[in-house]
Structure 1
């Protein structure tokens, strides 16, 4: 399958593809950031510790590594439109697997369903990200990806709110401490009742995904020609492009810290005894949307893609220092930032976790165009390699969970994010410029 590159003298032709891709980015965001609510929920439901609970992210994100190359092969054989339809169908089937998982309360079946969702998303991501990069001028690629990011993270804001409304509505004190105080019979009955609330939301999700299969299949999404480059003419394999190999590592570290910021904030809130722990992912997502808006306005008018990545790495490092050194009792920062709005405030350390979303929002839209530059006929392979970097969302949070569990202190786990931001800093300063390993 040829890599998607739209002719810049055909602006009308890009409108429908971008609308379709925007719709898919919404699906990416909703399904992905639902994990932030599922993690503390399943921790209570299945009686897990922090390390065990973060296998939610492992099962979901490891699918990107396991399935990236097979899915890129499928994409080459089927084309973008049919490949995206296959990805949506896989996700629809995976959503249905949540039904027996909820009925039995089986954590392994939940993990199987999450792996299936990740597998379906792999083919969608492999197709859509290079498509957005190539749909217009290369210097504004980060802006286009930032627009997609706003859609993606906007869905991430909605997902925890919808989950809380559909699953946790009316529940009082559904947390580890309150469940542990119940007698055995009462505890089992309570867990069965709460687990059953998951069934209908995932039925709705499956129906929606199968409807989208039909929409994408008959959308008329075009397959378009690939561009060549001088670099690609002299290279024999994707591993000869340092900018994309290091870019995949940068995405590995970025996705790792993105998942930590979005998916562990609920765990941290539950550990601190916050009543709204299941919806805390929305705080991180709101800040990420703000970061993407900054990217849309600022790139390339005021800052370059490389400068945006550099700023993200520095700001992210400062946020980690804030999490580690801040107060878990004071709510002063949140009171200043949004206390006036009526939105519940959170402790300063939790606020810094949420602010990590703002700090690193522009990493994804900046890394993709920097890494794909000059790949030519290797762009499809480069995209698959970058997608494999999403495995950072599987590995890095598990390291976080192990550190937090070993220290019996979730706050200490955030040390794991610091070396990740430092590698992103290296890629922004030097890694993206490398065109040979010598």
Structure 2
């Protein structure tokens, strides 16, 4: 574990002489709960989408547009989030992010009571904006609090808690949303009456009220917790240093931004279309409720992969591990496209294991060697999460050429990740980390 920490800046090592190892461990444990919650809430969408497809009688393009709106929030909210953190501080920003998410969750109950496709889109944008604020702060924090050579291992370890949330969310959604709705328990192809659609829309009220309550409780805990402060003096020094350097001279960042963008297209496309895919008669012929439970295995594979990846990267370079996992992901996606029956379903489930390390590993490789530019580089990488919005492209391919064929897009994404691991991730013009300073009182 890294040593004691009293303050941090996204471009610095931990300050010495302040804080304690115990308080650092408690802080990371609390942050891990944030990773869990935003993973949980994000993956509720995977059961929510087939539900809304049934309620509003949507085609695949309209269904994936819901998720596109979610990820567009990352593009628009990343820079304002960084400005807010600079203005009010790290801890208050976390609390604000959680409150924004809670308000959006409560807004989903309004969308259900109307019911309204448009209000649903707006409220999902609000929730995603709150998650963006958490992401902009928490990912760089975990990446820079310890030695740079173990940054990927450290972030993979904490991201495993994110995967724990993503693993449990499908069970939660399958039971409280799909399992309590006519569309979720009906056989494929059944057409709902208007009264059944209205009743199904109401089934999202209880899950989102529960989520809102948990978010408010977590916001109160974080508001009262003595988290390490961000050092203003360090930030000012880094700001002066930044004027002498350019982000665009760092190959690992320049190719890392599209790597995050493209990876999100792959991950979100698989997760969002999983339930509809395995429900097809020639694949597994399941109800949406049953398929939602199998989705848990996909996210469970991501959790296992991150724990395993964290250990592997203690001995093997992160880029080597990333290359191996991208090859595995490409192979199983090709099987998904050309196989039928259980083989196609299980190959799609298996891609979760290979996707597991991709986001945290690309992120830490992308900011490696940025020195005083780490803050800006991190912001651009978080903004690239907006790539998930292009899942609507896969929806369009599914409508035009078939759902199974649309996963060729995912396979193509895996090839770019392989390119990044083999060449794009190599650092150029690496900068030394600035000296740490005590936090300003």
- Would the TM-score normalized by the shorter structure come out above 0.5? yes
One of 259, 267, 276 as aligned partner of 2:268:
259
Which of 312, 315, 320 aligns to 2:333? It is 320
In the aligned structure 2, how far is the partner of 1:372 from the partner of 1:132? 12
1:281 matched to 2:275? The reply is: no
Report whether the alignment pairs 1:300 with 2:295: no
Q: Aligned partners of 1:63 and 1:233: how far apart in 2?
A: 27
Distance 1:355 1:124, change over 3 A: same
Give 1:78-93 correspondences, 5 Å limit. Answer: 78-93=88-103
What TM-score does the superposition give when structure 2 sets the normalisation length? 0.87
Q: Cα distance, 1:419 vs. partner?
A: 2.2
The question of 1:398 aligning with 2:385 is answered no
State how far apart, in whole Å, the 1-side matches of 2:187 and 2:75 are: 33
1:32-66 Cα shifts (integer Å, max 9, x gaps): 11111011111111100111101121011110011
What is the CA deviation profile of residues 50-108 of structure 1, one whole-angstrom value per residue up to 9, with x for unaligned ones? 11101121011110011111111111111110111111111111111101111122111
Query: 2:179 & 2:32 partners in 1: Cα distance?
Result: 30
Tell me the residue number matched to 1:133: 143
| Alignment check: 8 A CA contact 2:305 2:353 kept | yes
Deviation sequence 1:186-225 (CA, Å, 0-9, x none): x111111121121121112112212222211121111244
Return 5+ residue gaps in structure 2 as ranges: 1-7, 430-441
Whole-Å separation in 1 of the counterparts to 2:22 and 2:117:
48
Equivalent residues in 2 for 1:21-60, closer than 5 Å: 21-60=31-70
> What is the count of residue pairs matched by the alignment?
410
| Distance in 2 separating the partners of 1:17 and 1:375 | 25
Partner of 2:127: 117
2:216 maps to 210
Please point out which of 16, 22, 29 is paired with 2:26: 16
Paired residue for 1:428, among 421, 424, 428? 421
Relative distance call for 1:365 and 1:173 in structure 2 (3 A) is closer
Structure 1: where are the runs of 5+ without partners?
A: 330-346
CA change 1:370–1:48 in 2 (3 A) is: same
Q: Deviations over 1:286-310 (max 9, x none)?
A: 1111211211221122x21111111
Residue 408 of structure 2 corresponds to 415
Change (3 A) 1:432 1:368: same
Please, which of 374, 377, 397 is the counterpart of residue 382 of structure 1?
Answer: 377
1:411 to 1:19, Cα distance in 2 relative to 1, 3 A: same
CA contact (8 A) 2:337 2:407 kept: yes
Mapped to 2, the partners of 1:75 and 1:255 lie a distance apart of 25
Once the two structures are TM-superposed, the CA of residue 431 in structure 1 deviates from its matched residue by 1.1
Among 117, 122, 125, which residue is 1:107 paired with?
117
Partners of 2:81 and 2:146 lie apart in 1 by: 25
| In structure 2, C-alpha distance between the alignment counterparts of 1:6 and 1:224, rounded to whole Å | 10
- Alignment RMSD (CA, Å): 2.3
Shift of 1:253: 1.1
Aligned residue number for residue 226 of structure 2: 220
TM-score (norm 1): 0.88
